[in-house]
Structure 1
Amino acid sequence: MNRFHVVDAFTDQPFRGNPAAVLVLDEPYDDTWAQRVAAEFNLSETAFARPVATADADYELRWFTPKTEVDLCGHATLATAHVLTETGAAGPFRFTTHSGVLTVTAHDGLLWLDFPANPPHGRQVSEELLAALGGAPVWAGFSDVGDHFVVYPDEAAVRALTPDLAAVARHTVRGVVTTAPAAPGGSHDFVSRFFGPAVGVPEDPVTGSAHTALAPYWADRLGRTRLEAVQCSARGGRLVVELPADTPGRVRIGGTAVTVSEGTLRV
């Protein structure tokens, strides 16, 4: 039997942010079993961590949606580091993943993810996808995480989106990031929403991995390397993003997390 924790990530309040299930396992496990566990939790991601002894990493980390394994997930990585910290492990944490070695370090009251940057590049986006999203975008492209990237003129336009999710699923690889500059006078710099129906996530509450594209995009346009971000889903979440001068090609994503439940998985 294995212990599990359900953690709300990128928030300091229960029932907000993005929930992830986290299992820290001692032994190797079967992929089919992991996928079934993720489907049972039915959260946007379930994280499976396992100690490893390598020169570069302390844990193996994998992420499963209810339908498939994904190569990169921010909020479930934050949730895993939060669980490890609460259960007595000492950071920084080094995770070997399908996206290379990722680290999480605690400072300034936040857990900071160190991820590869994935700046979006211009690419033709189908008219069918844009119509499915709605609104009037001003730019569209694609990021190497596997997401379409669609920019709207203002925060209100992103908040008002009511996409046709069945159509979005037909025209995406992993999902689609929608974003805009923040409304004047706010405490943040930009907003986003993420739709991933093709991988079983109709709308993700807070998407850390999407900010590996959002951070370089908005840093370039706003002329700053540290930005405050809001993902304006129904649950909502807040993130801090940095482009570190000492490690080009990386993004640091800071946030907090709250454990809302824990128990024993009996299968």
Structure 2
Amino acid sequence: MEARIFQLDAFSSRSFAGNPAAVMLFESYPDDGVCQALANENNLAETAFLVAEGGDFRIRWFTPTVEVPLCGHATLASAAVVLERLETDRESVVFHSASGPLTVRRAERGYLMDFPARQCEPMKPPENLADVLGVPVEETAWDGFNIIAVLASADDVRCLSPDLRAIQSMACAGVIVTAPGDGENDCVSRYFAPAKGIPEDPATGGAHCALTPYWAERLGKNEIYAFQTSARGGELRCRLLGDRVELQGECVFYLEGIARW
């Protein structure tokens, strides 16, 4: 068997930054086990699998270990593949997914993604959370999938060296750590999801589905500039639109070819 494959750096305007994603094209989906094996072979945070469906596309996302219900950076990468390689005369594309239809359209810089917002509810923190992160936690919230830990400063987020094994044992998909931004950014964050086979995700669209409404309310504005302060870094412009969020980011192509197995 074979499939076209692309690898892109998402949420970045330059190579070797942002979050690498693989995008693979199929006429119909192979067995789930094949998808999982391919994602494991690609060894990236996520691989997106695309199948054309009328004028739209069906999309699924796999980490090296599990299928996930939503992935922002691999959707951004998939839109770049469709709009820059497959159908260059298009201005937008709709991906049908486990999280509903996701529309991505061209922007002056990069692409705009329309995603469902994740409302955050205050939660009592796990009693060992501060020890796991190695820093005091000012506030915690739950977005339906992840624990959100709010720290005092951007430097606290940058300097984190958490206990990933302890995070993996928690009853959550992952831990989003965030703080008020400094410089040009309204907020900063990092995302740890070892239970999904991702020790640290470099730039995470799904996390900003929760961070956008959280920081929009806290800062009193509906548009925020966010920076994911991982080693690679990730740049996102986020807007809250009712029960949806609009995430804007850029992509850089790195690899294009044919996968055979």
TM-score bracket for the superposition, by shorter chain length: over 0.9
Name the aligned partner's letter for residue 72 of structure 2.
G
Name the aligned partner's letter for residue 125 of structure 1.
P
Name the aligned partner's letter for residue 174 of structure 1.
A
- Matching of residue 83 in structure 1 with residue 81 in structure 2: yes
What does 1:229-240 align with in structure 2 at a 5 Å threshold? 229-240=226-237
Name the aligned partner's letter for residue 238 of structure 1.
E
- Matching of residue 70 in structure 1 with residue 68 in structure 2: yes
Distance 1:265 1:129 in 2: 42
- Matching of residue 195 in structure 1 with residue 192 in structure 2: yes
Task: Note if contact 2:139-2:151 (Cα within 8 Å) is conserved in structure 1.
Answer: yes
- Matching of residue 256 in structure 1 with residue 253 in structure 2: no
Give 1:67 deviation, angstroms.
Answer: 0.4
SS of 1:163's partner is coil
Distance 1:174 1:130 in 2: 18
Task: Provide structure 1 residue ranges, at least 5 long, that are not aligned to the other structure.
Answer: none
Name the aligned partner's letter for residue 68 of structure 1.
V
User: Could you tell me which residue of structure 2 aligns to residue 105 of structure 1?
Assistant: 105
Task: Note if contact 2:83-2:92 (Cα within 8 Å) is conserved in structure 1.
Answer: no
Distance 1:181 1:119 in 2: 18
Distance 1:257 1:236 in 2: 13
Pick one of 209, 213, 231 that aligns with 2:210.
Answer: 213
Q: Cα deviation per residue 1:1-38 (whole Å; 9 max; x = unaligned)?
A: 11100000000111000000001211231110000000
Q: Say how many residue pairs are matched.
A: 258
Give 1:129 deviation, angstroms.
Answer: 3.3
**Deviant stretches of 4+, over 3 Å:** none
User: Could you tell me which residue of structure 2 aligns to residue 177 of structure 1?
Assistant: 176
SS of 1:209's partner is helix
SS of 2:128's partner is helix
Give identity over the alignment, percent.
43
User: Could you tell me which residue of structure 2 aligns to residue 266 of structure 1?
Assistant: 260
Give 1:223 deviation, angstroms.
Answer: 1.0
Distance 1:263 1:253 in 2: 28
User: Could you tell me which residue of structure 2 aligns to residue 135 of structure 1?
Assistant: 135
Q: Cα deviation per residue 1:97-141 (whole Å; 9 max; x = unaligned)?
A: 111111101122220110010021112221133321121111001
